[in-house]
Each structure stands twice: as C-alpha cells, then as structure tokens.
Structure 1
Amino acid sequence: MNLTPIATAPATPSMDTPPTMSNDYESFLSLLVAQVSHQDPLKPIDGTEFVSQLATLTGVEQSVKLNDQMQSLRTQLALSAALSESSLIGRTVTVPSEEIELGPDGADFSYELQGTATSVTAIIRDAAGVPVREIAGLPATDRGLVNVAWDGADANGVPLPPGRYQVALATADATGGYNTYASFEVISLSFENGEQRLDLSGGGSAMSTQIVRIE
C-alpha cells in the first residue's frame, strides 16, 4: 500500500552522546593529572593556566552529563509516545492513501482538493492498474474532505471481488492537486528508520501525524 502524506515532518535530530566526547573527557583528565604529578617543583604550573584547564575540564564534563540527560529524556519521550499511540490499536484511522480495501459491503474513501476544479471523477483500478469503475459528478469543492461510497461494482454493475484497488481523481480545470484518503484498522506499532509507525490492516503503515480521522 502506498501512502502519500500531506506533508513530511522534518527528521528529528539525533541526541545520542557523541562517541568521542566521553573519550575526550577521560583523555583530558588523564593528561591533567599527569601534568600535575610530573610538574617541576622549581617551575610549578602557572595558576591562571591551571584554572583555565580546570574550567575546560568542567565544561567537557558538563557537556557529557547534558548529553546523557538528553538521551535519557529522548528515551522517555519515545516510550511515552509509544504508550500513547498503543491506544490506537484496534481503532480505524483515516490516512492519505492511493489504495482502498473493497469488502463485502463495498468501500469508502475520501479526497481533498488543493484548489478549485469544474468537475471531479474518481477512477478505480484493479491491482493490475486496469480501470474497473469511474464515479463522475463528484463535488468539486476545496473546503475539506469529501467522502465517497463505492458499491464495489464495475462499470456494468457486476460485483467485483474483495481486495485492494487503486483510486485516483480526474479533475477538469483544476488549480491545484489533490489527496486521496482511506480508512484502515491499526493492528500494531513498529519502528522504521528510528520513526514509530502504525501498522495497518492489509500490510501498509502510516505515521500518527498523517491521521485525519479516528473512528
């Protein structure tokens, strides 16, 4: 199933502790201790320089601690988000999709125009991409979602077998694009490339930020 998000959220920057920061801190500390241990009694370390080195060491230490805290916070937020989205399991959500699921009672889908048009026709294709039905005369409004009910029959009124079908729009004199939406049941949660996704009935997935309706 191909899902087309309305907008793609920017990637969240990684807050993992840089692998070299802790090593730099340990190395700096070791060098400072060695410097103090092996200093020439007749030429002790300059006080100002020593204070400056201590300040640098403290700064590195604080950076290490801050990154550790940020990583811990990130983990807690991810867990909180997972627990929150787990409440969607078993619920039906409407998300951007170019595919619809035909069941015994037909199929419902929605669309949203991003501009004006003089006419809108929904074109439904089978898995091979062959058009099986056109639904003409649909509302050409650009004010929100438009719901469409398909009875599951082809152009000759013959019922088609249940399964996945593709849906697209043909718009006349359109001043913008469009998005199509379909409803699916959330069956589980998963992680992909560090992002939490909702696993949908039929094998597709979506992000919670793509949901436009929950039933």
Structure 2
Amino acid sequence: MDVTGATSTSSQTSVEAMKQSSNPVSEDFNTFLTLLTAQIRNQDPLAPLDSTQFVEQLATFSSLEQQVRTNDQLESISLMIAEMYSNAAGEWVGQDAAVTTSWLPYQGGEVDFTADIPMEADQALMVIRDTSGEVIDTQSLDPAQSPWSWDGKTANNADADHGLYQMVIELYQGGQPLGMMEPKIISKVTQASIENGEVMLGFENRMTQSAAKVTRIAGE
C-alpha cells in the first residue's frame, strides 16, 4: 500500500477492510449459542438434557467465547500495527535520506553522497564506472569534508548519459591502498509503501530500499 504525502489512501483502505472483515469464530460462537438456547428451551421436561452432555456443551461454549475474545484482541493489535506502519511510512516522504549502495541509477544533475571514512584513511578517491567496468570519472575527496557531490560530468567534461553506474570510494593511507567502500547516495524520498510488514522507500533518483537500511539526513 503506497504512501505519498501523508498517510496513503490504500493504507487507510487496508485498515478499514480489516475492521469490516467478518470473523468466522464469532459467527460459529453466535450459531452455537442460538442452538444451545433453543435446545434448552425445547427440551422435554420429562427427559431433560443429560447433565454430562450439558456440561460438555457449556465447556464448548466457554472455549468459543474465549476464542472470540482472543481473536478480537488480536484484530485490535493488528489494526494498531497497520496504523503504526502507515504513519511511519508517511513520515519518510519528502525527507532526504542516504542509501548505502555502489550502484547509482543516474537521472542527470548533481549527485550528493557521503560515507563514513575510517580515521586511518588520509586520502579517499571516488571512482565511477559504467556497466562495462570502464572508469568514466574520478574525484579526490577530503575525508573531513563530507558530504560531497558528483557534478554528473565524465572525465572529459561531457555530460554523463542517464543510466546505471557503479560508484565506489577507494581508501588510501600514505599513498598505500586500504580498500574500497560503498558510498551513501543522498536523495529525496518520494513514496513509501508497506510490503510484507516492512516499510519500503522510493527515491527521487529511482532507487528503492527498505527503511531499515536507510539513514535519514540530520536536519531534515
């Protein structure tokens, strides 16, 4: 159920549907109660209902009643959880957030990104490759000046084509390589949905990620 702006219409529809859905256990309980009442009312006074059988029926009645109450409580809890997910999803829309990924679905313009550069690294280098593995641009990064931006230009100052690129950050210490890490691509959340009990976010740059794996940008 998608959420765009505040709480989504589809989220509200789903919650209302849960409220209005029929409860089979409750229906069985009402049917049993009706039959038991009719049985008592219409029993032969000269041959009343066997006490053992009556106690068994009362036990069944008590069990059904307890099950109805349990189901009502579970339904109430489910409604509360659904509303909480809807509210949580709606709060993300319009916010800037960072997704940790090495794959960038580029749609033009500047790309903001950040990373948690380890303290031992005294040099960082952004490297962008196309899907064939060819390097199209590199950029030296000051580890103390995050976030950074890629202007969308290739090494020869041409506009990069729209498409999928790989962005990694190479780390160095004293000129010696330490390894590579994924950047955190920053983009605005444009939609949110609840899928299998998980809040999924859609971004302005067409990325999709679970809210559990996304970092909200401070100050937004």
Please report the TM-score for the alignment, with normalisation by the length of structure 2: 0.59
Q: How many residues align?
A: 192
Q: CA deviation at 1:159?
A: 3.8
Matches within 5 A, 1:1-215: 20-26=24-30, 28-29=32-33, 32-33=36-37, 35-36=39-40, 39=43, 41-100=45-104, 101=106, 103-104=108-109, 106-111=110-115, 122-126=126-130, 130-134=134-138, 149-154=149-154, 156-161=155-160, 163-164=162-163, 165-168=165-168, 180-193=183-196, 195-214=198-217, 215=220
Q: CA deviation at 1:185?
A: 0.6
CA–CA distance in structure 2, aligned partners of residues 41 and 187 of structure 1: 72
Q: Which has the higher mean CA deviation after the structures are superposed, 187-196 or 121-130?
A: 121-130
1:18-77, Cα deviation, whole Å (9 max, x unpaired): 965345434544554465456565553343542343233222222223322322332233
2:193 is paired with a residue whose SS is: strand
Larger helix proportion of the pair: 2
1:70-121, Cα deviation, whole Å (9 max, x unpaired): 22332233224423442332210112333334754x42334469xx99x986
Structure 1 123/63 Cα, relative in aligned 2: closer, same or farther at 3 Å? farther
Structure 1 212/42 Cα, relative in aligned 2: closer, same or farther at 3 Å? same
1:206 is paired with a residue whose SS is: strand
Structure 1 168/45 Cα, relative in aligned 2: closer, same or farther at 3 Å? farther
Structure 1 184/137 Cα, relative in aligned 2: closer, same or farther at 3 Å? closer
Structure 1 94/57 Cα, relative in aligned 2: closer, same or farther at 3 Å? same
CA–CA distance in structure 1, aligned partners of residues 57 and 181 of structure 2: 61
CA–CA distance in structure 2, aligned partners of residues 20 and 98 of structure 1: 50
RMSD of Structure 2 on Structure 1 (CA): 4.4
Q: Which has the higher mean CA deviation after the structures are superposed, 59-68 or 47-56?
A: 47-56
What letter corresponds to residue 167 of structure 2 in structure 1? Answer: V
Does the 8 Å CA contact 1:99/1:182 hold for their aligned counterparts? no
Structure 1 213/191 Cα, relative in aligned 2: closer, same or farther at 3 Å? closer
1:212 is paired with a residue whose SS is: strand
Q: Which segments of 5 or more consecutive residues in structure 1 lack a partner in the other structure?
A: 1-15, 140-145
What letter corresponds to residue 75 of structure 1 in structure 2? Answer: L
Task: Please name the residue that 2:4 is paired with.
Answer: none
CA–CA distance in structure 2, aligned partners of residues 179 and 58 of structure 1: 59
1:149-181, Cα deviation, whole Å (9 max, x unpaired): 434443x4424336453324678776xx96542
CA–CA distance in structure 2, aligned partners of residues 180 and 42 of structure 1: 86
